[in-house]
Amino acid sequence: MSNRVVIHADWSLGTINKNIYGHFAEHLGRCIYEGLWVGEDSPIPNTKGIRQDVLAALKKLNIPVLRWPGGCFADEYHWKDGVGPRENRKRMINTHWGGVVENNHFGTHEFFQLCELLDTEPYICGNVGSGTVQEMSEWVEYMTFDGESPMSRWRQENGREKPWKLKYFGVGNENWGCGGNMTAEYYADQYRRFQTYARNYGDNKLYKIAGGANTDDYHWTDVLMREAHGMMDGLSLHYYTVPGTWENKGLALDFDKQAWFETLQRALRMDELLTRHSTVMDRYDPQKRVGIIVDEWGTWYAVEPGTNPGFLYQQNTMRDAVVAAAHLHIFQKHCDRVQMANLAQLVNVLQSVILTEGEKMLLTPTYHVLEMFKVHQDAEALAFHGKIGEIALENGESLPHVSVSASKKDGKVHVSLCNLSPDESAEFELELRGAEGSHSCAGVILVGDAIDAHNTFENPERVAPAPFEGAKMDGNKLSVKLPAASVVLLTLEA
């Protein structure tokens, strides 16, 4: 048996913050408009303008937190354009994403409405790049102030008597790039200044997130921590899995085994990035009070042929499901530092969980992984050790054959596994230690009939979870046979 793992049910590595199962919705392509918002007069069934089919599907994911309005869009967004009677709202150009008209029909009130319907914590990203301190400060006042003030009065005139509760607030996005092309030193000063005026009103306490590094820019993390760690609760990190080159990205559907390996190798790099950024942060924050907020992650391919290049629309296959599972395992491993992660993006953009076409909707393989894994939310991450076989690659490097994570909650142990090989099954022996009595085992599997298996509007159920029969429990030992390119969730119960 080349894969053998011992799981310690009585050894917690810490709590898995449910917010690592967070999402991101930007005014980009068909994410907000069509994907979420269709408007109250739409023939597509909706609740206060938000489409009901998408809402119902998203509710099943127990989404803990949702980031909005961008992304690059956040640093061009002027929130005052998106409140008040919709017919009077400014029409503007979404210069960053496709140059299309943005009618501002989905604004602050609509976003909080969506979060309420999803029972999700809002995470708002403010505008540093093209905004002012006053604009950001007034947005926080508008949303959270309960007394007499120009902003709270305006909110009330716009139909919301009581302030909303807002915890997560980002001070800019990618300020090293689309958020202003700043240096780390310049942004650190801007961060200190902007966040000063993002006030805590009444008992609303903001969790302030500073704009963090791109991929392996450890200098950025070092400067931000050195200059401002005492003024932030979280520091973001963005890393996308991009096969090919940035200028010539691979395709979402048309790929071979080589591209599968390249994608998985790049996805697993998240582990190294978290280790190294966290080590830099330890220098200033050894208690790990400041969280890493991976508020953009996921696969990024060339757009689907024939679609608007500015809309970043891509399909989603079993390869994406495996990438998602491996990422979530990495976040769970780093639960001492990673306090949130937001998959980019919710609907119709990059590694989406839902795709829509007019009134039609489908769930992607990535959706199913998030649905299967939601049992890990707020559970105790369990320690494990063992031996995992390796896949030797043509470039002389290797990939682990299997990725594993385990957690415990409400007396149940959940073990998630994914087979990173596109064509070889994996035999697995698993031993559960530190849990009394014998356990039953129930499993669910996500696997396709090909590595590029995906759901289409004509065949929306081609990739869907099914009961898993490949695990046999004997006492505290479990033998598992994982099909190639599959994701499995096991529930062990005494």
Q: Which stretch binds ligand AHR (CB under 6 A): 67-75, 158-166, 181-189, 431-439?
A: 67-75
Verify cis geometry, omega within 30 degrees of 0, for the bond prior to 345: yes
Q: Which stretch binds ligand AHR (CB under 6 A): 40-48, 66-74, 413-421, 456-464?
A: 66-74
Q: Which of 174, 227, 262, 371 is catalytic?
A: 174
Q: Which of 138, 296, 371, 380 is catalytic?
A: 296
CB 239 within 8 A of CB 269: yes
Of residues 5, 17, 19, 26, which one binds ligand AHR by CB under 6 A? 26
Give the single-character DSSP code of 162. S
Q: Which stretch binds ligand AHR (CB under 6 A): 1-9, 69-77, 351-359, 410-418?
A: 69-77
Nearer to ligand AHR, 206 or 344 (CB): 344
Does 175 bind ligand AHR (CB under 6 A)? Our answer is no
Per-residue mark of binding to ligand AHR, 326-355 (x: CB under 6 A): ------------------xx----x-----
Nearer to ligand AHR, 70 or 82 (CB): 70
Give the single-character DSSP code of 317. B
Q: CA 56 to CA 40: how far, in whole Å?
A: 17
Of residues 138, 174, 320, 380, which one binds ligand AHR by CB under 6 A? 174
Active site annotation includes 493 = no
DSSP 455-494: --SSSTTSS--EE---EEEETTEEEEEEPTTEEEEEEEE-
What does the angle CA 52 – CA 45 – CA 86 come to, to the nearest 5 degrees? 90
Instruction: Name the amino acid, one letter, at 37.
Output: W
Residue 98 CB, nearest distance to ligand AHR (Å)? 12
Q: Which stretch binds ligand AHR (CB under 6 A): 3-11, 65-73, 248-256, 314-322?
A: 65-73
Active site annotation includes 304 = no
Does 70 bind ligand AHR (CB under 6 A)? Our answer is yes
Residue 67 CB, nearest distance to ligand AHR (Å)? 10
Q: What is the CA radius of gyration of the chain?
A: 22
Cβ atoms within 10 A of the Cβ of 270, count?
A: 25
Q: CA 298 to CA 369: how far, in whole Å?
A: 13
Q: CA 329 to CA 417: how far, in whole Å?
A: 9
Q: CA 186 to CA 241: how far, in whole Å?
A: 28
CB 155 within 8 A of CB 163: yes
DSSP 53-116: HHHHHHHTTT--EEEES-SGGGGG--GGGGSS-GGGSPPEEETTTTTEEE---S-HHHHHHHHH
Residue 272 CB, nearest distance to ligand AHR (Å)? 20
Nearer to ligand AHR, 34 or 295 (CB): 295
Taking alpha carbons only, the member of 366, 355, 292, 291 closest to residue 326 is 366
Nearer to ligand AHR, 120 or 345 (CB): 345
Angstrom CA distances, 229 to 169, 175, 177, 187, 218, stand at 16, 17, 21, 13, 15
Strand 338-344 vs strand 22-24: parallel, antiparallel, or unpaired? parallel
CB 401 within 8 A of CB 388: yes
Nearer to ligand AHR, 42 or 181 (CB): 181
Instruction: Work out the end-to-end distance of the chain between its first and last CA atoms, rounded to an integer number of angstroms.
Output: 26
Nearer to ligand AHR, 71 or 243 (CB): 71
Per-residue mark of binding to ligand AHR, 71-100 (x: CB under 6 A): xx----------------------------
Nearer to ligand AHR, 12 or 215 (CB): 215
Q: Which stretch binds ligand AHR (CB under 6 A): 68-76, 115-123, 323-331, 452-460?
A: 68-76
Residue 61 CB, nearest distance to ligand AHR (Å)? 19
Nearer to ligand AHR, 97 or 139 (CB): 97
Structure tokens at 417: 């596994």
Of residues 19, 94, 120, 173, which one binds ligand AHR by CB under 6 A? 173
Q: Which residue carries 């064509």 as its tokens?
A: 423
Please give the residue whose beta carbon sits closest to ligand AHR in the complex. 71
Residue 83 CB, nearest distance to ligand AHR (Å)? 22
Residue 71 CB, nearest distance to ligand AHR (Å)? 3
Nearer to ligand AHR, 293 or 344 (CB): 344
Please name the residues in contact with 115: beta carbons below 8 A apart, sequence gap of 6 or more: 66, 121, 122
Of residues 34, 285, 296, 320, which one binds ligand AHR by CB under 6 A? 296
Structure tokens at 277: 């950024």
Does 365 bind ligand AHR (CB under 6 A)? Our answer is no
Residue 165 CB, nearest distance to ligand AHR (Å)? 25
Residue 21 CB, nearest distance to ligand AHR (Å)? 18
Residue 96 CB, nearest distance to ligand AHR (Å)? 7
Task: Point out the residues that are catalytic.
Answer: 174, 296
Where on the chain is the footprint of ligand AHR (CB under 6 A)?
26, 70-72, 173-174, 296, 344-345, 350
